[in-house]
């Protein structure tokens, strides 16, 4: 069944345009409620949100939709996406609902769902919801309507959970941190987590007004973090995105560490503690230098499709624990059921404190390969997969790079563009190879 509303991470779009409208959200809450009631007599769901001004409207609409189907609702207010996943599991609820558009600007918003176990739901569940959306509503009678109440201690519960993911003996005393919450859902959580663990915390991006989420701050704008680290002479800076499931780190020298490097640090630290790391899951975009460094330690890297959802699926299928994306979505399934920027940051700080070495030293010998990415506009009706010139050039380039680089060619999912990426130890060589591939792609 083709999905009409659900994408790779829930339902997302521009507020005021279908499907991000109050009438659709009421229908969505009602449809999800009906799907839940097929297996649960009287379900209870948790709704959390980020700091977008549209969250008030969408929250009310979803609440009404759930109540109209006979589903009780708990409201957490602003809370990181991984916080909603945690509370759904901890409170033994039937579903977690997050109103957020993650790293997107404030005019966008969306909805995503977590199972009772705090995990992303499968395609089959989303298809069942889409089918229910096509059916006429079945309003519950007055005696069967759902009720709603606020969870007053949601923030405190989640702060304690984050702290529990590192040993009680771990302290950040003597560490000065800049914490950037992107004016998003972690604005009243992230600074307190690190402060309560002993760090001297400087907060930026922690003054949401409903319109400034991800605006020049946060994980998608790490330059603000780098400036603040230098200004305050901090040891490290930690930047989250609007819903706090993504992480970027900056050190005192202004070096930015991406998700691939941080994933390596997490794996290497576990090996240093003699913990088993049977494998790590990355994506098609994971840097080859990290793959080679992991391999040198005896840890294989498996590549999933781009998207933390696909990384998670691969981890579960292999019963592995560590995975992530270059963008900073990191997963440690023995710590949380989903990607969590704060928990990931604590894992990195734990590695630095335990080994008594700066982050740069933990990455000695891991020099990321430069990547050249070219967007090639395709002619109407052209099939790049049946282009013999591109096929031949790709074989030649891969033979030339032979262990010192790789090629990734994939079509854009949103426009008629072919994305040609070459990763090579030598940047100039990689750029030349990418240009040859791009020329071959349009020669068809």
What's the pLDDT score for residue 444?
60
- The closest of 58, 55, 343, 63 to 185, measured between CA atoms, is 55
**DSSP helix/strand/coil, 256:** strand
What's the pLDDT score for residue 330?
98
What's the pLDDT score for residue 411?
83
Residue with tokens 């404030």: 106
The pTM is what?
Answer: 0.93
Active site residues: 102
Q: How far apart are CA 169 and CA 295, in angstroms?
A: 32
Is the separation of the CB atoms in 204 and 230 below 8 Å?
no
Residues of the chain with pLDDT under 50: none
Q: Where are the alpha helices (DSSP H) in 205-340?
A: 222-231, 259-272, 288-296, 308-318
What structural domains does the chain harbor? 11-151 (3.40.120.10), 157-255 (3.40.120.10), 257-362 (3.40.120.10), 371-442 (3.30.310.50)
Give the length of the chain: 444
What's the pLDDT score for residue 309?
86
What's the pLDDT score for residue 414?
63
What's the pLDDT score for residue 413?
65
What's the pLDDT score for residue 315?
97
- Which residues, 6 or more positions from 60, have their beta carbon under 8 angstroms from its beta carbon? 22
Write 223-226 long-range contacts (CB < 8 A, 24+). Answer: 224/180, 225/178, 225/180, 225/250, 226/250, 226/254, 226/256
């Amino acid at each position: 069944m083709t999905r009409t509303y659900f994408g790779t991470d829930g339902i997302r779009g521009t507020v005021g345009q279908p499907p991000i409208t109050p009438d659709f959200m009421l229908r969505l809450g009602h449809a999800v409620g009906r799907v839940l009631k097929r297996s649960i007599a009287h379900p209870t769901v948790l709704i959390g949100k980020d700091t977008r001004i549209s969250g008030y409207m969408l929250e009310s609409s979803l609440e009404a939709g759930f109540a109209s189907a006979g589903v009780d609702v708990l409201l957490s207010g602003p809370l990181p996406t991984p916080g909603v996943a945690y509370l759904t599991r901890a409170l033994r609820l039937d579903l977690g609902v997050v109103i957020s558009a993650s790293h997107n600007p404030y005019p966008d918003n969306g909805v995503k769902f977590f199972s009772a176990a705090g995990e992303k739901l499968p395609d089959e569940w989303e298809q069942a919801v889409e089918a229910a959306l096509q059916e006429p509503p079945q309003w519950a009678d007055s005696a069967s309507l759902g009720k709603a109440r606020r969870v007053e201690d949601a923030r405190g519960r989640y702060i304690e959970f984050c702290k529990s993911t590192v040993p009680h003996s771990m302290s950040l005393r003597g560490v000065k941190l800049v914490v950037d919450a992107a004016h998003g859902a972690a604005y009243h959580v992230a600074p307190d987590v690190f402060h309560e663990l002993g760090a001297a915390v400087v907060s930026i991006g922690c003054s949401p007004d409903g319109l400034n989420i991800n605006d020049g701050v946060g994980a998608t704008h790490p330059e603000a973090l780098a400036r603040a680290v230098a200004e305050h002479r901090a040891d490290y800076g930690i930047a989250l995105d609007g819903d706090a499931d993504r992480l970027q780190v900056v050190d005192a020298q202004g070096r930015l560490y991406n998700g691939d490097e941080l994933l390596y640090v997490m794996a290497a630290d576990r090996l240093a503690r003699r913990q088993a790391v049977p494998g790590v899951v990355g994506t098609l975009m994971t840097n080859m230098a990290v793959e080679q460094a992991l391999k040198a330690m005896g840890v294989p890297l498996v590549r999933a499709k781009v998207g933390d959802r696909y990384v998670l699926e691969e981890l579960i299928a292999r019963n592995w624990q560590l995975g992530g994306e270059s963008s900073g979505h990191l997963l440690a399934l023995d710590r949380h059921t989903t990607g969590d920027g704060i928990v990931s940051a604590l894992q990195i700080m734990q590695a630095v404190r335990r080994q008594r070495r700066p982050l740069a030293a933990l990455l000695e010998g891991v020099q990321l390969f430069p990547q050249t990415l070219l967007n090639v506009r395709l002619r109407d009706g052209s099939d790049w997969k049946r282009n013999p010139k591109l096929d031949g050039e790709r074989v030649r380039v891969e033979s030339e790079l032979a262990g010192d680089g790789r090629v990734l060619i994939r079509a854009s999912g949103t426009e008629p563009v072919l994305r040609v990426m070459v990763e090579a130890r030598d940047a100039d060589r990689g750029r030349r190879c990418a240009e040859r591939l791009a020329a071959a792609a349009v020669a068809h």
